[in-house]
Structure 1
């Protein structure tokens, strides 16, 4: 497996929304072409509680979600829409029983609307990672629930029944990452996500890419939503103090190397939208990135709602519950929101003002938080450079990304570009001290961590071949 050791772009200024070095095409029609010159709107809507009682009932729910999404998009004259389904537990736990219907019916409706109205359509399926570290992450280890086997089976079912793109929010390394977040232990997070998570990604995505290629389906990408987003959400905003936002920002830099692994083993992008590390990995690989921000307020709050649109290739609302609003079904409401936002981006491209809009998106939130500062596209590029300079080692590239991000924030605060509280500055200082004290040798780091974190609940080195 070849790892990334050079940047896809000569400078950060080359990067802009709707354009990637390696665009992809899929779906019905010719407008679902992420990175090929325009930004694609993506609608995500979750079924109502109770709709999962029976397979037929769940299929009907997903049929309504797709139809109402496609109707609103067509009514408003938008040229394209991608429908993403983040599978619920029942679909992953019993894919043949609960997932075949939803996957196939949404594909059928997308084809129908393309043929009848000319709108470009596609479906993306994010299969759930049901694996539990205490039971075992690899096939043959979990003798009770067989979650590793079910996770892989989900991709086969999705690919065989009409999915255009496959994605996942994988869970490798989470038992150590959770421990690190709770204690603001950056070494634990680096071990859990930068190293263990990358090792797990290499195995898992090799399987996903194989399924995708056998079924002529696009293997999209992953995200560190379970860990880095957990850190981000707990850090919260200006009224929250449980986790320092400087700590959260460094975890985002660390996770970029892990997210990159999917593409290194053969995935093509787009990556998963809730990976706020998208600007970093796009700068390295040149593959299209899906992003979320101000149109995902129905799911959560963040401090970078405009900035995340800066170099996206798909724009999504995050997951909203399917229900009725004053204007109609919520699926249509959010399809309209992402449709108009991408229309603005694509119009800016047509007028030759896309980089002006990019910079306005970025400047709006650049100094709102340490995390928004490090993923501003120019700084994301610098973190990307640190990763590729150490590209052959999962550990060293994650460590380099973390130190680069921390030093950026420290310098911004020293130059009065960003104001940090004493708690934030003290946490940042401790992070830098801890990171700089780590060994240069990967084997030594792993050996130390296996001893230090041996008693962390649910951690079993066998899950990672150690």
Structure 2
């Protein structure tokens, strides 16, 4: 009989010193897939890909299969030619692939077969991450714990595991409806409620079920979640000058408390590539992390192209369409770009220069943007320490936000971080709003109910 699972409680840091936060090494490496160990000394490429612009229907299914066959064959062949010491493929579902789980499973089998062939012929260690789409946000308000979308999503995890997934991940959406509205008007109390109360409750419920899928399939690893729909949305809006950069930076820090819930519920890593909160997870839980930066410019722009790699264990390109470039198809091209980045990091580690390279990558970005400033090793320890000083997810979220405001304020006062007058005003306003939040989240919920209560289904968060 399987022992009953007890959620973890993180009250201390697995890595308490910024000097010990470095790429390629995690206190708790993860063995998965075909002989791959992540976090034990090397950084590996994680290649992420998608279809070119096309319809995904019964009529185009043969073409869809052909694209994934081609991607798997070309990316694996490129990794073998470059003598890569290991490779991760990430298969992110498009919504129809989760809505019809057998489609996602069929493509999982295709990709896993390519990895198995390479392992047999050349000994390439590898793993396949599968990330179903969180399709539960259908309906207003979304009903997250029941109904056909929820049941279909859970089935997508099951059949993906059966079809050959080595790592399961998701970009979950609990609390997103409230957060979306709050973000565009910079409503700090509502942002804190979405990230600190709603999202962690959904994460706990959902990740308990993902863990159970993995327990039924020994060898399948529960990876991690991503605040893509929260913090990355803020990053993109800030990049378009639609909200303050300091707000995006503070939201990034606050999202880390939400991400930690997956690891409390048994996730082992590697975290998701688009989860820029990953370094905080590494510091707290000791898990290996995937990150993306300059090589993700095919999918989105960011102010964190170099610093994002400072502590990574997998280095990813986010997602690139399978389109033809001069040299070859884009996924194969990005496999090569990632591999050369990883070679440099691994050569630095082998020659005892990992920290020197890490510090240069950090230095190149750190004070050019508030969003980069909260991703340095020192900032990571500061935010992680604030989180583990509390136990309730709401308290952790607020503490992380306050820590981010403090370090940005300190950087500005010391002349390292140049903030425009409006950004400086916004930072002060955010800090004041965080300080004024109710100590009890229930009081905050009551305060926000008239404006936001219609956006979330209380039963979906165990609040009914």
The answer for the alignment partner of 2:42 in structure 1 is 38
Q: Cα deviations across residues 53-110 of structure 1 (Å, max 9, x unaligned)?
A: 33443222211110010111112222221110110111100112x1222111111110
| Conserved? CA contact 1:124–1:166, under 8 Å | yes
1:105 aligns with 2:110: yes
1:150-208 CA-to-partner distances (Å, cap 9, x unmatched) read: 11111001100000100000000001110111101111111111221011000000000
CA contact (8 A) 2:208 2:266 kept: yes
The C-alpha deviation readout for 1:348-371, integer Å capped at 9, x for no partner, is 111010010111111110011111
1:346 alignment partner, SS class? helix
Q: Does 1:91 align with 2:97?
A: yes
Counterparts of 1:215 and 1:234, CA distance in 2: 40
Partner of 1:337: 337
Task: For 1:105-144, list aligned pairs within 5 A.
Answer: 105-132=110-137, 134=140, 136-140=142-146, 142=147
TM-score (norm 2): 0.95
2:238 is aligned to 235
**2:98–2:132 Cα contact (<8 Å) kept:** yes
2:88 is aligned to 82
2:193 maps to 1:196:
no
Q: Deviation of residue 139 (structure 1)?
A: 4.1
How large is the Cα RMSD of the aligned pairs?
A: 1.3
In the TM superposition, what are the counterparts of 1:20-31 in structure 2 within 5 Å?
20-29=26-35
Deviation at 1:374, TM superposition (A): 1.1
Structure 2 residue 402 is matched with structure 1 residue 403: yes
Per the alignment, residue 420 of structure 1 pairs with 419
8 A Cα contact 1:130 1:148, kept in partner: yes
Q: What SS does the aligned partner of 1:196 have?
A: helix
* 5+ long unaligned stretches in structure 2: 1-6
* 3-state SS in 2 of match to 1:375: coil
Matched with 2:57 is: 53
1:161 corresponds, among 163, 168, 180, to 163
**Residues 1:361 and 1:449: Cα distance change in structure 2 (over 3 Å):** same
In 2: Cα distance, 1:277 partner to 1:336 partner: 26
CA distance in 2, matches of 1:137, 1:37: 42
- Deviates further, 171-180 or 440-449: 440-449
Specify the alignment match of 2:348 in structure 1: 348
- Report the secondary structure of 2:32's partner residue: coil
Q: Write the distance in 2 (CA, Å) between the matches of 1:139 and 1:300.
A: 31
Structure 1 gap segments, 5+ residues each: none
TM-score normalised by L of structure 1: 0.95
**1:410-460, CA deviations, whole angstroms, 9 ceiling, x for partnerless residues?**
1111111111011101111111111111122233233333345224xx322
The answer to whether the 8 A contact 1:124-1:163 is kept is yes
Determine the C-alpha separation between the residues in 1 that align with 2:231 and 2:13: 23
Structure 2: distance between partners of 1:124 and 1:79 = 17
Q: Which moved more, 1:57-66 or 1:12-21?
A: 57-66
Alignment partner, residue 219 of structure 1: 222
